[in-house]
């Protein structure tokens, strides 16, 4: 999943770069500056969004794992108590 996301990101970046190069050839410096600024902002936003998504996924996974561990511990404790009682 992570690898896929990273690959997609890389592809997007490459595409953006290519587009920028093409634009640069066609337009004057003023437009180039604007395009670069916009591009940087877009890239930053996308990166932030991806990071947030990844963090959320990690948190969810950690919570699920923690829940599973707690359940296992509780079961083991209950079994131990039963054995001790018996």
pLDDT in tens, 15-63: 877 776 766 666 666 777 777 788 889 989 999 999 999 999 999 999 9
pLDDT score for 84: 87
Q: What does R_g of the chain's alpha carbons equal in angstroms?
A: 25
CA distance 79 to 4: 43
Please answer whether residues 46 and 12 qualify as being in contact, where contact means their C-beta atoms are separated by less than 8 angstroms.
Answer: yes
Tokens of 62: 């950690």
pTM score above 0.85? no
CA distance 55 to 11: 22
């Amino acid at each position: 999943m992570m690898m896929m996301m990273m690959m997609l990101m890389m592809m997007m970046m490459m595409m953006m770069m290519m587009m920028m190069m093409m634009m640069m050839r066609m337009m004057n410096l003023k437009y180039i500056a604007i395009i670069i600024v916009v591009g940087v902002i877009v890239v930053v936003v996308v990166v932030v969004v991806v990071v947030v998504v990844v963090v959320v996924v990690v948190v969810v996974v950690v919570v699920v794992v923690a829940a599973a561990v707690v359940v296992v511990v509780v079961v083991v404790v209950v079994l131990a108590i039963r054995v001790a009682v018996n």
